[in-house]
Amino acid sequence: MPRILTSHTSDSELTEHNAKMFGSPKERLDFYRREIQYETSILANRTDAYLAAQSFLVIAFASSMGNLNPEWGKMFTLVVPPFLALLGVLSSLNAWPGIRAAYDIIDHWYYKQSELLRSEPVMGMAYDESPLFCERESTHKGYRKALLFSVRTPWIFASFWVLLGFWGVFIQVA
C-alpha cells in the first residue's frame, strides 16, 4: 500500500495548529458532539431503512407461503419463499458494512471525546462541582450498549431468513 511521506511535525506546531483550528477545548468538544450526533442519525436512518425493507420481505414471504392456487400454488410456494429468504439474507449482508461503518465512526468520535475529557478535567466543571459529563456517559460501555440493536439486527435477520428459507422448503417437501 503506498504511503505518503511527510516531514516530521513537532508538538509545538501541532498545538498551534489545533489552537487555530478549534480555538478552545470547548469548541473541540462541541465539534466531537456534533459529529457523534450526525453519525448517530446516519446509523438510525440506515437501521430504519433496513428494518422497513425487512418488514416488507416478511410480509411478501408470509403472503407467498399462503398461496392456495390449485394449479400452480404448490410450485409457487416451493420456489418463491426460498428466493425471498435468499433476498433477505443478501440484503442483511449488504446492510451490515454500512451499519458497521457508522458504528466504527461513532466509536472513533466517542474515543476522541473521552480523551479530551480525560486530558482536560476542568472541561466538565461548567457551573458547579458536578461534572458536565460523568465517567458513565463517556465510557465505551455506555454508548456501545445503546448501539447494539443497530449492529446486531442484520445478523439476527440473516439467521431468521436462513431458518425461514429452510422451513419453507421443508414444509413443502415433507
Structural domain boundaries in the chain? 23-173
pLDDT at 7: 59
pTM score, whole prediction: 0.74
Q: Could you tell me the pLDDT band of residue 19, with boundaries at 50, 70 and 90?
A: low
pLDDT score for 82: 94
Q: Is pLDDT at 85 greater than 70 in this prediction?
A: yes
pLDDT of residue 153: 95
**Is residue 143 a contact partner of residue 106, using CB atoms and an 8 Å limit?**
yes
Question: What confidence tens digit (pLDDT) does each residue in 98-117 have?
Answer: 999 999 999 999 898 888 87
| Predicted pLDDT at 14 | 55
**Rounded average pLDDT over 6-34:** 71
Q: Which residues contact 28 (CB under 8 A, 6 or more apart)?
A: 18, 22, 116
User: Does residue 41 have a pLDDT over 50?
Assistant: yes
pLDDT at 83 over 80: yes
